[in-house]
Structure 1
Amino acid sequence: MKYHQISNQLFIKNRKKFMALMKPKSIAVFNSNDIYPISADSTMPFEQHRDIFYLSGADQEETILVLFPDAMDKKHREIMFVRETNEHIAVWEGAKLTKEKATEVSGIETIYWLTDFDKIFFDIMTEADTVYFNTNEHYRQSVETQTREDRFIAKCKNDFPAHQWAKSNPILQQIRGVKEPEEIALMQQACDITEKGFRRILEFTKPGVWEYDLEAEFLHEFIRNRSKGFAYTPIIASGNNANVLHYIENNQQLRDGDLILMDLAAEYANYASDMTRTIPANGKFTARQRAVYDAVLRVKKEATKMLVPGTIWAEYHKEVGKIMTSELLGLGLLDKADVQNEDATWPAYKKYFMHGTSHHIGLDTHDYGELKTPMKANMVFTVEPGIYIPAEGMGIRLEDDVVIQETGEPVNLMKNIPIEANEIEELMQA
């Protein structure tokens, strides 16, 4: 891994939180992700399942975590199974977790080789009544591929039909949404790396370069700062491309007078950052571009103030919609009749701002976290309003990552990344 090793105290705390919410005489099992094939002997780069990483720090394939707080043998209350390594594997694939290293990374004392899993698991299942399965219940999930977790669940139900089943996801939604100080520090590091990339491209951007040139500049800066790269597929959308919300081709040339919407950010130690900035290709906003830009920025600032403990996510978005409506009226994009005659299920402002304003962020870009209960301190949310005007060939979105505080306004993890139009122009023309 490129990142510095994380203190295992974080993972010890996370496991304690999870186990405190488990039913009596229950076992929870978490599996690593598969390594997914492309074709022939090619595979995609391994990405660890965020749940097992959150609970153990293990960033390696073919790993299983078992939590059993009521195990009769104390050493079986936390168990991690890892793939047995040898000299051949070390030569061809590099170092893997030894039992000693697995303990150092995770804080788990009991480490077995993966080949021992079936025997050990059968033994402890004789003491358990309930098994927690780790199903994906994220509100945006649309997974069609069978995962290692799916195969385990099918086998476990077949092998132990008399046990009761429970879901890990509600517990994970509850505890992963509220970040520990160590997690916020890792996210701050991801944001700081993102800042370096953004400042780099402000000096580089000009008409004639290509969207993929900017992508390459960001990637260079991210990797040289111990990031694996982008936290999610980067969007670098010049001109009218910005009106395609998930534009990822990044293959067009920047033209004089274009705005460039860049929704991209670095990861660090599997923790994501999520930034959007919109800049002028030639370093200078037109009067109309500046008016729309400043309107988006005002909405962002007002929306940020509302992210406080007790706020309800759905109600928050309604309030942001009201602020956006006012700005769109001021820009002449809506008139009073549009608002008076709007469909309550699709308000008038949605013509120009059709997506949500905020989502949880953490180990996943669209992270786990409760959305139907009041917001809590140390939840981390994006704030990302936008205005999209295809008829004028521009789309503007601005986005930062903020941490809800016990009192007062959220802390902006991206406060050092330029966002005011004047500062962007000054840096681009320096």
Structure 2
Amino acid sequence: MKYTPIDRSLFIKNRAKFSAQMKPKSVAVFNSNDIYPISADSTLPFAQHRDIFYLSGADQEESVLVLCPDAPYEHLREILFLRETNEHIAVWEGEKLTKERAFEVSGIKNIMWLQDLEKTLFEIMTYTDTIYINTNEHYRSSVQTQTREDRFIKWWKDKYPAHQVAKSNPILQHLRSVKEPQEIALMQQACNITEMGFRRVLGFTKPGVWEYEIEAEFIHEFTRNRSKGFAYGPIIASGNNANVLHYVENNQECKDGDLILFDVAAEYANYSSDLSRTIPVNGRFSARQKEVYNAVLKVKDEATKMLTPGTLWKQYHVEVGKIMTSELLGLGLLDKADVQNEKPEWPAYKNYFMHGTSHHLGLDTHDYGLLYEPMEPNMVFTVEPGIYIPAEGFGIRLEDNLVIQPQGEPFNLMGNIPIQADEIESLMNA
């Protein structure tokens, strides 16, 4: 891992919070992600399952966490199982967690090798009535690949059919949505690295550069600052490409007079940041471009003020839609008849602003969070309104990352990243 070590107190605290919500005489099991094959002997880079990382800090393949708070013996209450390492593995694959190092990372005293998992779990099952399985229930989930968790669940149901089943995900959906101070500090570092990349790109961009060259500038700056890379597939969308919401080809030339929409951000220690900015290729917005830009910025600023404790996500988006409608009327993109004749399921503003304004952010870019629960302090949300105008050849999106505060407006983790149109022009022409 490139990131500096995380204090294990975070993971000790996270396990305590999860265990406190488990039923009596129950056990919970969490598996690492697989390493996915490409072809021949090639694989995708490993990315740890966020749940086992959240609860243990173990950032390694073939890891299993078992929690059994009511076990009669202390050594069975928390166990981290790891693939046994040796000198051969160290030479060919690099250093893996030893038992001593795993304790330093996680704070779990009982570290065991994977070959002991089945017999240890058999003993634990004799003391328990319920097992918590870890299914993916995120509202945007669409998974077609069988995961290590899936295989474990099938094996467990065949092996222990008399046990009751409970779900880890509803507990984690809430716990992970409310960040500890250490997590917010890690997300701030991800945002700081993103800022470095954005400032680098402001000095690099000019007519004639290619989108992929800009992508390369971002990843250079991210990697040299201890990020593993992009928090998600980067969007570098010049001209009309910005009107494709998930444009990821990044293979077009950036032309004089066009805008470039960036939706690109760094991860740090598995925590995501999520930035959107829109800049002029030649360093100067046209009058119309700046007019639309400032309308988007106004919507973002007004939406930000609504991110307060007690706010409901669904109602929040209704209110943001009203603000956006007003701005679109002012820009001449909508008229009163459009609004009067709009359909409730597709308000008129959605012809120019099709996506949501905010989502949870954390270990995942679209992080855990129960959308029917009111917002709470230390939840982190994006704010990302946009206006997309294919007929005029550009789209604009602006996005920051906000931490809900106990009182008042949220704290902007991206408050130091340039966003005012005049500041961007000044920096690009310095």
Q: TM tier, shorter chain?
A: over 0.9
* Superposition TM-score, scaled by structure 1 size: 1.00
2:255 is the counterpart of 1:255:
yes
What is the CA–CA distance in structure 1 between the aligned matches of 2:41 and 2:173, rounded to whole Å?
36
- Aligned match of 1:128: 128
Report 1:6-405 matches (<5 A).
6-405=6-405
* Superposition TM-score, scaled by structure 2 size: 1.00
What is the CA–CA distance in structure 2 between the aligned matches of 1:413 and 1:419, rounded to whole Å?
13
The number of residues matched between the two structures is: 430
The CA deviation at 1:75 is: 1.2
CA RMSD of aligned residues (A): 0.3
What is the CA–CA distance in structure 2 between the aligned matches of 1:420 and 1:12, rounded to whole Å?
41
Q: Per the alignment, in what secondary structure is the counterpart of residue 85 of structure 1? A: coil
What is the CA–CA distance in structure 2 between the aligned matches of 1:419 and 1:368, rounded to whole Å?
27
Q: Per the alignment, in what secondary structure is the counterpart of residue 388 of structure 2? A: strand
The CA deviation at 1:127 is: 0.5
| Regions of 4+ moved over 4 Å | none
Q: Deviations over 1:106-145 (max 9, x none)?
A: 0000110001000100011111100000000000000000
What is the CA–CA distance in structure 2 between the aligned matches of 1:174 and 1:235, rounded to whole Å?
30
Identity %: 76
What is the CA–CA distance in structure 1 between the aligned matches of 2:419 and 2:213, rounded to whole Å?
21
The CA deviation at 1:154 is: 0.1
What is the CA–CA distance in structure 2 between the aligned matches of 1:188 and 1:208, rounded to whole Å?
33
Q: Provide structure 2 residue ranges, at least 5 long, that are not aligned to the other structure.
A: none
What is the CA–CA distance in structure 2 between the aligned matches of 1:180 and 1:14, rounded to whole Å?
9
The CA deviation at 1:426 is: 0.1
What is the CA–CA distance in structure 2 between the aligned matches of 1:180 and 1:314, rounded to whole Å?
25
Q: Per the alignment, in what secondary structure is the counterpart of residue 91 of structure 1? A: helix
Q: Deviations over 1:383-428 (max 9, x none)?
A: 0000000000010000000000000100000000000000000000
2:429 aligned partner, one-letter code: Q
Q: Per the alignment, in what secondary structure is the counterpart of residue 38 of structure 1? A: strand
1:57 aligned partner, one-letter code: G
The CA deviation at 1:369 is: 1.1
2:110 aligned partner, one-letter code: T
Q: Provide structure 1 residue ranges, at least 5 long, that are not aligned to the other structure.
A: none
The CA deviation at 1:373 is: 1.2
What is the CA–CA distance in structure 1 between the aligned matches of 2:170 and 2:146, rounded to whole Å?
21
1:207 aligned partner, one-letter code: P
